[in-house]
Amino acid sequence: MATPFDRRTLDVGDGHRIYIEQSGHPQGQPVVVLHGGPGSGSSPYMRRFFDPDHYRLVMFDQRGCGRSRPNASVTANTTQHLIGDIRKIRQELGIDRWMVFGGSWGATLALAYAQTFPDEVQGLVLRGVFLGRQRELDWFYAGGAGRFWPDLWARFCAPIPPEERGDMIAAYHRRLFCDDWRREAEHALPWLLWENALAVMQGDASSHVPPDYARAFARLENHYFINRVFLEEGQLLRNRHLIEHIPTVIVQGRYDMVCPPISAWELADGWRLADLRMVSGAGHALSEPGIATELIRVMDALRG
């Protein structure tokens, strides 16, 4: 993995400063990475998918998370704000058009950005597709995935009184935004562990998560989900025609319990330039061996 040749922060307004880093070839083929969550932040691990002798890799931490400031802030933090930030970063770096690489929430944001500014996008590489629809939120937070993972679902529900469990997103929202840092952090951990535990085919998520990270992740993700990711229901599928001229590769784990494969299938169905690659024996996480191998294969094939 290449060491970044450029690190900077960009004032995007509304009191937010965004952390940006570039690595790889300074004059290479530009690609921007959109991390998941919302709220997870970027990671050096993400660099491993890109040939540093070919790609000019741009990574950044979205509003409120990672090294962007203020941490855990949901003020002026919507999908539309993030789309604007992506465009500001492109302009700041003097890039005309770039490839967009995103997984999970990053795939949602990649689609929303491409549909808003299609002329800025050379290609899309999506992983673990999440389209932000109510049925997808219900799957994960209204007991659907819990039918496969009843023990972990019980752990997720445990901090919430039975009478509030009919709307787990709202119940957690009351606790993650209660103006008591300690209480917010205590409820952030089970929110984070529920998602992390289902992201991989083998193993369980570690409970040793820094409280600041867990709180930022949980607050941002909950904020987006209680607001239906600030998109109209079905918007990304309905507006697919705006980006059907853009070559797209979709890498999807066959056993993805966080973002079930039906969303990737529906997105690709009838899209001539979309190449859907179902990875057998793989779940959701970027670190899943089958997912990682396929993404490296895709990015190597797209050089030039």
Tell me the C-alpha distance between 238 and 22, whole Å. 34
Confirm whether 104 is a catalytic residue. yes
* Structural tokens at position 35: 């991390």
pTM of the model: 0.97
Confirm whether 223 is a catalytic residue. no
Q: Pick the catalytic residue from 25, 173, 187, 256.
A: 256
> What pLDDT score does 52 carry?
97
Confirm whether 256 is a catalytic residue. yes
> What pLDDT score does 204 carry?
56
Extract long-range pairs of 180-186: CB within 8 Å, 24+ residues apart: 181/215, 184/215, 184/218, 184/219, 185/211, 185/212, 185/214, 185/215, 186/159
Collect the ranges in the chain with pLDDT lower than 70.
1, 203-207
Q: Which domains does the chain have, with CATH numbers?
A: 6-132+230-301 (3.40.50.1820), 135-229 (no CATH)
Say if residues 5 and 26 touch (Cβ distance below 8 Å).
yes
Q: Pick the catalytic residue from 23, 40, 73, 104.
A: 104
> What pLDDT score does 201 carry?
84
Tell me: the pLDDT tens digits for 283-293? 999 999 999 99
Q: Pick the catalytic residue from 16, 173, 187, 284.
A: 284
